[in-house]
Amino acid sequence: MVTDEATKTRVGSLIEGARSSSWQSRIAVALVVALLVLLLGQAVREPGQFVSQLIIGITNGAIIALIALGYTLVYGIIELINFAHGDNFMIGSFVGLTVLSGTFLGFQFFGAIGAGAGTFLKIVGVLLALVVAMAVCGLLNVGIERVAYKPLRNSPRLAVLITAIGMSFILQNLGLVWKGPAQVPFPELISDANILPGDAIVFRWKDLFIVGVTVPLLIGLSYFISNTKQGKAMRAVAQDKEAASMVGINVNRTISITFLLGGILAGASGVMYGLFNGITVFNVGFTQGLYAFTAAVLGGIGNLTGAVVGGFLIGIIGSMADQYIGVEWTAIVIFSVLIMVLVFRPRGLLGDRSAVQGGGE
């Protein structure tokens, strides 16, 4: 009976919500439906192209989702938009590239692993690049938190945001010093060839690689957060820092671990981005970071599932915009999504902490 009652009220409130929904949300819903219909039209006209584009969107989305998780983890725990996170991702791609080249600071540790290397060597190289980039970015993120954010933990929110912007510029210029202003090519380690027979639908080895790395990372993260003691501590600190410290949780260490996790994901994502797109550049973190932030906001910032869902959605929106509107408009489309979401539904799709004043606390 009790559950019945509960369902009834929930359904009732849903109907009520639909009735009392503002003109704004109606416009938003109408807009989304119209766009979906248009897309569906395209899908029917040329299904092969549509599905291939969808696959590219999902792979791009996986990369974005991994960055978005870093934003959402940090926001969930200290309510900071870690503006430098995108640049951490860029550093990740540079670290990966350096590992594959085998040379660092003039010392050659091993021969460069290029397109001509054997399959086994390629696998080892990619794994090594991933692991090193993850470690470097994780530690870098922890270091940034220690140096720049920790002293400001009780300062006004915008003071910390300005610091984060400063850190972002510092990292970006480190990248500029490191690899120069031009785009740097990544070795072609993973085949561009289609796995599926025929060329109606394109699903490349590259796409498989991205999915194959992302899924275990997501499972690992989810296990860590929900099953380990440290994960539990993170959730506790996210809910209430003071209470968490009262029950004996080391808040500073928990925050550091959160930054470590975010950095690890950004590092992996950076290497994947480089291997997938074949290039990287010192300012790639700005746009990719904003895309990922959009994804985190779209899913509901502070919400881990939301960040992943948002990441895939933004990836798909981006690839559809590339195909059907024009590559030069993609950034505009995604930034418009960011603004629309914040204006019409600041809680995001799955909702956690509100972006609206006074909410979510």
117 or 281, CB closer to other proteins? 281
Q: Output the smallest distance, CB 63 to other proteins, in A.
A: 20
Beta bridge partners of 103: 108
Cβ-in-10-Å burial (0-12, 13-18, 19+) of 56 comes to buried
Binding-site member from 331, 349, 350, 351 for other proteins (CB under 8 A): 331
Find the Cα–Cα–Cα–Cα dihedral 259, 229, 153, 289, rounded to 10°.
Answer: 30
Element (H, E) at 108: strand 107-108
Closest to 348 (Cα-Cα) out of 316, 305, 289, 288? 305
Q: Output the smallest distance, CB 201 to other proteins, in A.
A: 30
The answer to whether residues 129 and 212 touch, using CB atoms and an 8 Å cutoff, is no
DSSP E strands: which ranges in 167-289? 184-185, 279-280
79 or 188, CB closer to other proteins? 79
Amino acid at 184: V
> Could you say whether residue 155 binds other proteins (CB under 8 A)?
yes
Find the part of the chain contacting other proteins (CB under 8 A) among 12-20, 50-58, 303-311, 328-336.
328-336
> Could you say whether residue 239 binds other proteins (CB under 8 A)?
no
Binding-site member from 49, 241, 245, 256 for other proteins (CB under 8 A): 241
24 or 226, CB closer to other proteins? 24
> Could you say whether residue 300 binds other proteins (CB under 8 A)?
no
What is the pattern of x (binds other proteins, CB under 8 A) and - over residues 160-199? xxxx-xxxxxx-xxx-xx---x------------------
Binding-site member from 21, 200, 240, 253 for other proteins (CB under 8 A): 240
Cβ-in-10-Å burial (0-12, 13-18, 19+) of 289 comes to buried
Element (H, E) at 359: none
**Alpha-carbon distance 297 to 283, whole Å?**
22
**Alpha-carbon distance 47 to 23, whole Å?**
35
Helix, strand or coil, per DSSP, at residue 344: helix
> Could you say whether residue 30 binds other proteins (CB under 8 A)?
no
Q: Output the smallest distance, CB 153 to other proteins, in A.
A: 8
> Could you say whether residue 335 binds other proteins (CB under 8 A)?
yes
Q: Which residues bind other proteins (CB under 8 A)?
A: 79-81, 148, 151-152, 154-163, 165-170, 172-174, 176-177, 181, 240-242, 286, 290, 293, 297, 326, 328-329, 331-332, 335-336, 338-339, 342-343, 346, 355-358, 361
